[in-house]
Amino acid sequence: MEFKSIVDSKAQGSAACAVVGIYEQGDLGVGARHLDPAIDHLIGRLYKAGDFAGKLGDSLMLPLPAGSAAARILLIGLGPRSGFARKQYRKALLAAAQALGKSGADDAIVYLGLEPVGDLDVHYRARIIAEVFSVHAYKIPDLKTGPKPKASSLATVMVATENARAEKAAAEGLTAGAAIGNGIALARDLGNLPPNVCTPTYLGKRALQLAKQWPNVTAKIVDENGIKALKMGAFLAVTQGSDQPPRLIVCEYRGAKRSAAPICLVGKGITFDSGGISLKDPPAMDEMKFDMSGAAAVLGALRTVAELKLPINLVVIVAACENMPSGGAVKPADIVTTMSGQTVEILNTDAEGRLVLCDAITYSRRYKPAAVVDVATLTGACIIALGNHFSGLMSNDDALSGELAAAGVRADDRAWSMPVGEEYVDQLKSNFADIANVGGREGGACTAASFLWKFAKDLRWAHLDVAGTAWLSGAKKGSTGRPVPLLVDFLIHRAAAQ
């Protein structure tokens, strides 16, 4: 899908569909007010006749007579004007994308970006348009053999702006939104693929593809021997029960001078989490193919950053393997030595995410990073704490935590701050090793994060537990691509602050 910004006054008569908003009480939005006189006050009459009340998310597609401002007009309800904020704006745009997707229109001019939305500027309003339309156009890479549903004809989305200056700001916003959409789509594809396809080896291949596609990206794939040479004893313990070889994937993006300290994004890449010897219950075990969603998100964010050529340095580190039971699998009570030298008693083989991540975080130290952010579907306890609305956010640095939380708000991909520290590390005491990998049921998301906290000493570090946000269960089962929007917004702001 192509996105363009255009000055409103030049748009007349060109598009297959004009998308305009109407608030409740017959209060016309900017585009509707503008077009209505030329179409014999059709919109105003529809309201008066009780045919369109402007309820948020309602839509009505109408053909217009030849010679009108557009071949069709799509009315979108915006709800009460006083309540029209970012969330309502997204809902209205989604309604527009849905109605256009079902129509035969191959292009559309969207006037909704002209509405005031809280304190959002033209750039952000346009960015959200491109993001919503591109996310709506996403198709799951399914393996269904029947006839494919008809693809939407919508190929071009034009965004009306007030003047030449706004046109330029909107164009930049559209570029950002489309790139974010592409990053989300990559993350969702990787998450949605079945685990017999999306293996650690496959993730490595996709990283190499990114490096091939984007000139400022390089990828290094470390195999099992390399991981042994790095002495990543915790990572190796998780993979040892699996027939699939593990991969440590390291991608570097360079958009700033060599001396600028990079941000490191670390992703949990468990391509299937059976629990290992501490085997999970069968219900919903299929969803453990999504246990590489952290890896998918950091690769998705990398794709967006490369596409936007952000002036930052970024390193993406993915620890990818399966967690499987076998005669050779790690057992409860096994003790391993991590890359940091600290020993871990593995009391529960299903607490594997923290094991692969502690070694990946230690590996990140070689980059002397400005900040390390790990992303992981780490604990069921985080879902109990926050549900599916917020990602868990833990950090040893208040400024970094604040930046990430603010990025989540701006990107509508929110995270909620939760505690880490000594109190929770106390729950991880072992009689036989420096630390155990589990610490009881109480505060499960916090003890897991505090395990990582111990390995992140002296780093500016944050952790996003996306167990509740990275995918949906039930009828809409599938990857959400979260927290790509949060990560990208965080990096865009970092880039702007430089």
Q: Which residues bind Zn ion (CB under 5 A)?
A: 270, 273, 291, 353
Which two tokens mark 498?
């430089």
- Alpha carbon dihedral 372, 378, 384, 389, in 10-degree steps, equals 50
Q: Which of residues 337-366 bind ligand BES (CB under 6 A)?
A: 348, 350-353
Whether 26 and 47 have beta carbons less than 8 Å apart is answered as yes
Rg of the chain on CA atoms, in Å? 24
Of 1 and 285, nearer to ligand BES (C-beta) is 285
Whether 498 and 311 have beta carbons less than 8 Å apart is answered as yes
Give the whole-angstrom CA distance, residue 460 versus residue 372: 6
Give the whole-angstrom CA distance, residue 58 versus residue 40: 22
Catalytic residue numbers, as ranges: 280, 354
Whether 76 and 95 have beta carbons less than 8 Å apart is answered as yes
Check residue 478 for interaction with ligand BES (CB under 6 A).
no
Of 330 and 351, nearer to ligand BES (C-beta) is 351
Of 253 and 453, nearer to ligand BES (C-beta) is 453
Give the whole-angstrom CA distance, residue 209 versus residue 193: 17
Q: Which of residues 349-368 bind Mn ion (CB under 5 A)?
A: 350, 352
Check residue 252 for interaction with Mn ion (CB under 5 A).
no
Whether 320 and 204 have beta carbons less than 8 Å apart is answered as yes
The end-to-end CA distance of the chain, in Å, is 32
- The entry of ligand BES, Zn ion, Mn ion, none near residue 348 (CB within 5 to 8 angstroms by kind) is ligand BES
| Cβ contacts of 476 within 8 Å, gap of 6 or more | none
Cross-strand partners of 250: 220, 317
Only one residue has tokens 């598009």, namely 15
Whether 468 and 388 have beta carbons less than 8 Å apart is answered as yes
Of 350 and 489, nearer to Mn ion (C-beta) is 350
Check residue 26 for interaction with ligand BES (CB under 6 A).
no
| Cβ contacts of 163 within 8 Å, gap of 6 or more | 7
- The entry of ligand BES, Mn ion, Zn ion, none near residue 381 (CB within 5 to 8 angstroms by kind) is ligand BES
Q: How many residues bind ligand BES (CB under 6 A)?
A: 14
Of 210 and 336, nearer to Mn ion (C-beta) is 336
Check residue 36 for interaction with Mn ion (CB under 5 A).
no
- The entry of Mn ion, Zn ion, ligand BES, none near residue 467 (CB within 5 to 8 angstroms by kind) is ligand BES
Check residue 232 for interaction with ligand BES (CB under 6 A).
no
Least Å distance between CB 273 and ligand BES? 5
> Interface with Mn ion by CB under 5 A: which range of 292-300, 342-350, 395-403, 435-443?
342-350
Give the whole-angstrom CA distance, residue 436 versus residue 425: 9
Q: Which of residues 255-274 bind ligand BES (CB under 6 A)?
A: 273
Which two tokens mark 301?
């964010």
Cis preceding-peptide flag for 63 (omega within 30 of 0): no
Report which residue's Cβ sits closest to Zn ion: 273
Name which position in 252, 291, 322, 489 contacts ligand BES (CB under 6 A): 291
Report which residue's Cβ sits closest to ligand BES: 380
Q: Which of residues 256-275 bind Mn ion (CB under 5 A)?
A: 273
Whether 362 and 452 have beta carbons less than 8 Å apart is answered as no
Of 131 and 291, nearer to Zn ion (C-beta) is 291
Check residue 313 for interaction with ligand BES (CB under 6 A).
no
Q: Can you give the binding site for ligand BES, defined by CB under 6 A?
A: 273, 291, 348, 350-353, 377, 379-381, 438, 444, 467
Q: Which residues in this chain contact Mn ion in the complex, by CB under 5 A?
A: 273, 350, 352
